[in-house]
Amino acid sequence: MSANLEWNGDELLARLTGAAPAALNHGAELLRGFSVPLAPIDRGPLRASAQVTEATAGNLTAHVSYDTPYAARQHEELDWNHDEGQAKYLEAPLEEHEADLMQAIASRLGDELGIS
């Protein structure tokens, strides 16, 4: 018995690499969406400052951030009381939805390979 195997690893890698930025950006947008309702609110600037810095072909890292002078402190101060929102408004949804986010990214990559 014999078998022939055709290796398409280079093509597969190229397709995954090409699809990776969009998949990562999708995951980052989902995380942004999970985190915004948890950000403390006074007049709205913190929630409105949520942004995604997108991954690119040259940098396969997407970032979710909040751009106010007090964003980091609001995130870290566990003893502050908020009428609406909470501390760890970015970290908590990342931990809570980690599996969902990974699945969403993997699903986008699987779509590229036709294996969703």
pLDDT single digits (tens) 34-81: 999 999 987 779 999 999 999 999 999 999 999 999 999 999 999 998
- Burial of residue 84 (CB within 10 Å: 0-12, 13-18, 19+) is exposed
**Position of tokens 């190229």?**
14
- Selected residue with higher pLDDT from 113 and 24: 24
**Residue (of 75, 74, 68) closest to 50 by Cα position:** 68
Q: What is the structure's pLDDT at 42?
A: 75
Average pLDDT over the chain, rounded to an integer? 94
Contact 85, 39 (CB under 8 A): yes
Q: What is the structure's pLDDT at 63?
A: 98
